[in-house]
Structure 1
Amino acid sequence: MSSNPNLPPGQHEISTFPRFGLLQFAYRYPRDTKTIKISITGGNDKSTVVADALMQLPRVKQVSDFHCVTTWSRRGLTWSGFRFRDFYTEILKPLFPGENVGFILLKGQDGYRTSLPLEDLLAEDVLLADTLDGKPLTVEHGAPLRLVAPSHYGYKNIKHLDRIEIRSDGNLDISSGFRFMSHPRARVAHEERGTGVPGWMLRILYRPLVKPTIRRFQKAMTSYDESNTEKPLDE
């Protein structure tokens, strides 16, 4: 049961939206937080870099909830960006005509990677987002571009997105964590937290890790901010 009837099974609401993830990524940061570009590779190994074309797509804004697999949820986030559906129809599909697309492999500048079935990515609420609550994304939340897939746990909502691979695999699940920690679809409504372990059991395993993980990522962000703050010149 969730602690709030308006939340999915096993989730509880928090008032903040912390930087969060696998511990090994706490001190990994994007190389470029300003330039939005995506390198796209298909089954024929053809590679194309997309930048300006993405900005020509219709811009949309949506309010949606974010559900972390470790049981916390942040409600009512306002994202702006481009529908993945439009990105696929107008950019991906024409680049690889006739390609039998099963899954899409997504990679971030920090080395993180995950995947989702194409059918899930084509949902109306899946975005390639570049703003949060009316402001450009920061390093903390995925600058310069991230995936927003509200129906899927946070580990599918990749940050610092810069590479996409089209895959024809029928049952592909590629992620940066241990296999039991990942599910090919990770649908929140079905509590698909992982593979081979019941969702309710993963709740118990994950909950004690939330606070120490938040602290580690906060410490990492402090380190990042200090190293990227311009020091005044000596007079």
Structure 2
Amino acid sequence: MAPVSDHDLLVLSEDPFNAETRLDEKTPAITPAGRHYVRTHFSVPTGPRSIVLDGAGTAASISFDEIRALPARSMVVTLECAGNGRRFLEPKVPGEQWGLGAVGTATWTGASLRDVLRTVAIPSRTVEVLFRGADEGMPKDLGKRIGYERSLPLDDACGEDVLVAYLMEGAPIPREHGGPLRLIVPGWYGMASVKWLERITLLDTAFTGFFQKDRYVIDGEPLRHIAPRAVLVYPPDGAVVERALWLIGFAWSGAAPVTRVELSRNDDDEWVPMPTSFLQSNPSPYGWAKFTSHNLLLPGLDQEYSLLIRAVDAAGNTQPVEPRWNALGYANNAVQPVRIRVRG
């Protein structure tokens, strides 16, 4: 299934459907659904219009309309696949070979998960909340058919910003993006935001399923918050530019908002902060920030440069220059150089 035009996305695979956002100078601050990256592990299912709530030995159901009747919240959230940047790791690792476009920013509207959970009694011994999507299939190295399942610690699940979403940019969530109902966990890598949500289970022990313990881990440690990243979308790599350079990019982090974007060139150890006025403020702490710089003068004509951009967030997390290699290729947020030549 190819739910959107190949011209709108960079398609990596057709079934399961995986495609990147095209990041360039025309990329808007809010990513339309048809241009927002898509990540699926199995064939795209038809999601249910109700969710089974399972706990304390009993099961109840909450319908789409009942969820819509709960107080609604809207948030601008940047979602990023944990495998974004995998293509740049050496030696190569298995998995979808994402470049830098497995990221997108949208306005999601839904009910607080906390309000949904309040419709049932939560046993005092509950430690985690398990979410199951309607998608299922056979991972290549597992040898059996499973569904996509992920859990959150109870305290995280009950955070005020976790949503059971039903709108994306004010419209019903498209099927390829997990509609009609999906989880949105702001600040976390996209694997936590379970799509085609069909069942929520209250657990009294930690979940150890395939997508919790065998995937989305680095050296046995589970992935959580999105690591800081800045991406230069203009000029493109290999461009011939005027000496007065125009820069456009995006910066984001899941642990805290980005407060600074720094520039270096030709692998120089010196990093120069861009003026804060170049970094456009985002009303949401979970959305990326666009940055622009006009008339940046480069010395010399007919010379080649390597431009490097990195992000620093409010918690002090700094985007690294060197990648952290790992066997599954997750969280590679290392700076990617952009090579340009100044016109003679």
- TM class by shorter chain equals 0.5 to 0.7
Quick one: structure 1 residues 105 and 74, their matched pair in 2 at CA, closer, same or farther if it must change by over 3 Å? same
Correspondence 1:29 to 2:10: no
Shift in Å at residue 165 of structure 1? 0.7
Deviation string 1:50-71 (CA, Å, 9 cap, x unpaired) is: 1143232101111111121012
Deviation string 1:135-190 (CA, Å, 9 cap, x unpaired) is: 10111100110000122111111000010110011x43434377143455622259
> 2:216 is matched by which residue type in structure 1?
M
Quick one: structure 1 residues 126 and 203, their matched pair in 2 at CA, closer, same or farther if it must change by over 3 Å? farther
Match of 2:130 in 1: 105
CA contact (8 A) 2:126 2:203 kept: yes
| Structure with greater helix percent | 1
Once residues 59 and 203 of structure 1 are traced to their aligned partners in structure 2, the CA distance between those partners, rounded to angstroms, is: 40
Three-state SS of the structure 2 residue aligned to 1:176 is helix
> 1:151 is matched by which residue type in structure 2?
G
Quick one: structure 1 residues 175 and 150, their matched pair in 2 at CA, closer, same or farther if it must change by over 3 Å? farther
Q: Percent identity?
A: 26
Once residues 39 and 160 of structure 1 are traced to their aligned partners in structure 2, the CA distance between those partners, rounded to angstroms, is: 12
Say what the alpha-carbon RMSD is for the aligned residues: 3.2
Higher CA-based Rg: 2
Match of 1:167 in 2: 203
Number of equivalenced pairs = 179
Match of 1:78 in 2: 107
Match of 2:280 in 1: none
> 2:76 is matched by which residue type in structure 1?
V
Three-state SS of the structure 2 residue aligned to 1:166 is strand
Once residues 19 and 76 of structure 1 are traced to their aligned partners in structure 2, the CA distance between those partners, rounded to angstroms, is: 12
Correspondence 1:181 to 2:216: yes
| Structure with greater strand percent | 2
Quick one: structure 1 residues 186 and 175, their matched pair in 2 at CA, closer, same or farther if it must change by over 3 Å? farther
Once residues 97 and 116 of structure 1 are traced to their aligned partners in structure 2, the CA distance between those partners, rounded to angstroms, is: 15
Which is bigger in relative contact order (C-alpha 8 A, separation at least 6)? 1
Three-state SS of the structure 2 residue aligned to 1:144 is coil
CA contact (8 A) 2:162 2:183 kept: yes
Match of 1:8 in 2: none
Once residues 163 and 131 of structure 1 are traced to their aligned partners in structure 2, the CA distance between those partners, rounded to angstroms, is: 19
Gaps of 5+ in 1: 1-11, 193-198, 209-235
Deviation string 1:78-130 (CA, Å, 9 cap, x unpaired) is: 01111112222x31xxx235442111110011131111111111222211101
Deviation string 1:17-54 (CA, Å, 9 cap, x unpaired) is: 222133xx1x2412x4xx52111111x32111111432
- The structure 2 residue matched to 1:200, chosen from 308, 324, 329, is 324
Three-state SS of the structure 2 residue aligned to 1:54 is helix
> 1:174 is matched by which residue type in structure 2?
G
> 1:188 is matched by which residue type in structure 2?
I
> 1:133 is matched by which residue type in structure 2?
E
TM-score by length of 2: 0.46
